[in-house]
Amino acid sequence: MAMQKFIIFIISIILSGCVAKGKVAIIMKSNLKQSVLNLNIASVRIQNNQLIINGSNLESITTVKLVEGGLTQTLAVESATNGEVIANGVSAITLGVGKVFDMILSNANAAATFPVSFTLNDGSVTKQKLSSMGALSGQVLKFNGTTWEPAS
């Protein structure tokens, strides 16, 4: 009886090799999409040591970079909503007033680059915000070729 089962088993294996192999079809239930950032930027400002970007379709932004010349500064996104992104510097950030930067906004799938220039608004620098830098009454600040110093 055991021998008979063994012979049937062997014949089954031999016959299964004679059956034509079928094609394997992989059906995906959803198509992959190529992401394109459709961002609108209305304004960019620095407030309370944070870079604040206003616009629309900003909720997917995960990374903000500022590029000027060969220098790239990466900022950490603190929050991103449809209308606003708030980013903080990972390290101390130096921004040149009047220079044009490339601001690169990105998510996991795409990136968009915007030219940005930072300027000082008229009246934004007041006498209360200036340091005397050691100058006495009647002295002015004079550049000595290296630094600014009080002079008569």
Q: What is the pLDDT of residue 16?
A: 55
Between strands 71-80 and 63-68, the pairing is antiparallel
Instruction: Report the alpha-carbon distance of residue 123 to residue 44 in Å, rounded.
Output: 19
Q: Tell me: the pLDDT tens digits for 89-135?
A: 877 777 777 788 889 999 888 888 888 887 777 777 787 877 777 88
Query: What domains sit in the chain, N to C, each tagged with a CATH number?
Result: 40-117 (2.60.40)
Looking at mean pLDDT, say which of 8-17, 72-81, 113-122, 123-132 comes out highest.
72-81
Residue pair 70/88 in contact by the 8 Å Cβ criterion = no
Q: How far apart are the first and last CA of the chain?
A: 120
Task: Please give the share of the chain, as a percent, with pLDDT higher than 70.
Answer: 76
Asked if pLDDT for residue 7 goes beyond 80, the answer is no
* CA proximity to 44, closest of 26, 62, 25, 66: 66
Instruction: Report the alpha-carbon distance of residue 135 to residue 31 in Å, rounded.
Output: 69
Q: What is the pLDDT of residue 30?
A: 46
- Nearest 5°: the CA angle 128, 97, 89 is 90
